[in-house]
């Protein structure tokens, strides 16, 4: 699952910050952040999902794995 829920984003600056933080991770490809849905998705990543969560939390947002219907 290449998707995380991100809480705390409220404008395009937040989106930009999250996009940049996740894109900066090793092997990150196709990173997309949706302000409307409050989530970040990516095509490829060389690090574990925990590292992605960490990178997002480092810049002051709350990230968590989506455990609902889309977790497949």
Binding residues for Cu ion, rule: CB under 5 A, are: 10-11, 13-14
What is the CB neighbour count within 10 angstroms for residue 18? 25
Residue closer to Cu ion, measured from CB, 13 or 48 = 13
Residue closer to Cu ion, measured from CB, 13 or 71 = 13
Residue closer to Cu ion, measured from CB, 36 or 50 = 36
Pick from 55, 15, 16: nearest CA to 35: 15
Distance CA 20, CA 72 (A): 26
Rounded to a whole number of angstroms, the minimum distance from the CB of residue 66 to Cu ion is 21
């Amino acid at each position: 699952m290449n998707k995380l829920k991100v809480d705390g984003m409220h404008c395009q600056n937040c989106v930009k910050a999250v996009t940049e933080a996740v894109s900066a991770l090793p092997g990150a490809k196709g990173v997309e952040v949706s302000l409307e849905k409050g989530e970040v998705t990516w095509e490829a990543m060389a690090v574990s999902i925990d590292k992605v969560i960490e990178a997002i939390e480092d810049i002051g947002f709350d990230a968590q794995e989506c455990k609902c219907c889309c977790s497949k």
